């Protein structure tokens, strides 16, 4: 695929989303950087430098898409916005928390796809890139809501890939491992899981924290991940799933 037209990136206020928005702009796309709080766009513009001329910040809350209209020249959709809440055992996870996570990590992703597909189909080309998680390949305790939602997203992404291939639309999933983001800084790599509040799960939570700290040593910068994601988007053909750091690549290949 040649860089042309517009790329929409959700969750672009920080972390992987911001880095991907900047990288796609540097490679030649006009980018809509979607974020719930557009005031954070100033930080993005500062980091983007000259590429900021190709980036337009837009308010985009993926759980409230009534006002979203896909650009006529849309060529790339990156569903990056995601949510992770408390690290709790399934036994102690309220149903409301499951619903909140799935609303953002699953339902919003495919509602946005649904709104963008007609534009891409009319153009006869496009790429939908859904940001998943390698945690679904390496089950961990207390990741029930997050891994469950990402597993659902992953499976529907595979279905969507088959459905849209005849229209010239590639659908891919990128599964990051440990990336240096705010999310990693507040994860079980930095603190003991909330599950430690429940005595039967306390030893497991402590062991998980110790192992996660070792994994954090292998984390890579967001710019590294963004470069790999942009490569995957621009590649012709290629697999359904990509890693964007050594650990996620190893998990997918194994």
Nearest-10 crossing angle of helices 108-123, 144-164: 20
In 10 A of CB 134, how many CB atoms? 22
Helices (H) and strands (E) in the chain, counts: 9, 7
Q: Which residues contact 90 (CB under 8 A, 6 or more apart)?
A: 144
Helix (H, G, I), strand (E, B) or coil at 222: helix
What torsion, rounded to 10 degrees, do the Cα atoms 162, 80, 205, 97 define? -90
For the chain, the residue count is 254
Residue 55: name the closest of 44, 67, 65, 39 by CA.
44
Which residue, among 60, 56, 13, 79, has the nearest Cα to 222 in the 3D structure? 13
* Pair 75, 24: CB distance under 8 Å: no
CA 221 to the chain's CA centroid:
15
Q: Active-site residue 87, yes or no?
A: no
* Token code pair at residue 252: 């997918």
- Cα–Cα distance, 216 to 227 (Å, whole number): 20
Which residue among the candidates 87, 146, 201, 242 is catalytic per the annotation?
146
Which of the residues are catalytic?
146
């Amino acid at each position: 695929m040649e860089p042309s037209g517009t790329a929409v990136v959700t969750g672009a206020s920080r972390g992987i989303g911001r880095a991907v928005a900047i990288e796609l702009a540097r490679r030649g796309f006009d980018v809509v950087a979607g974020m719930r709080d557009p005031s954070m766009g100033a930080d993005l513009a500062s980091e983007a430098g000259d590429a900021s001329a190709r980036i337009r910040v837009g308010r985009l809350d993926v759980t409230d898409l009534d006002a979203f209209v896909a650009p006529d020249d849309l060529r790339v959709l990156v569903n990056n916005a995601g949510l992770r809440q408390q690290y709790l055992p399934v036994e102690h996870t309220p149903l409301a928390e499951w619903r909140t996570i799935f609303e953002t990590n699953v339902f919003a992703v495919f509602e946005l796809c649904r709104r963008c597909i007609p534009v891409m189909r009319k153009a006869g080309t496009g790429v939908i890139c859904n940001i998943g998680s390698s945690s679904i390949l390496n089950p961990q305790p207390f990741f029930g809501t997050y891994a469950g939602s990402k597993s659902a997203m992953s499976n529907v992404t595979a279905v969507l890939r088959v459905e849209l291939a005849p229209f010239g639309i590639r659908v891919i999933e990128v599964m990051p491992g440990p990336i240096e983001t705010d999310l990693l800084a507040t994860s079980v790599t930095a603190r003991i899981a909330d599950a430690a509040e429940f005595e039967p799960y306390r030893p497991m939570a402590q062991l998980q924290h110790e192992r996660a700290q070792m994994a954090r040593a292998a984390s890579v910068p967001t710019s590294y991940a963004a470069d790999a994601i942009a490569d995957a988007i621009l590649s012709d053909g290629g697999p359904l799933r990509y890693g964007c750091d050594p650990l996620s690549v190893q998990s997918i290949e194994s």
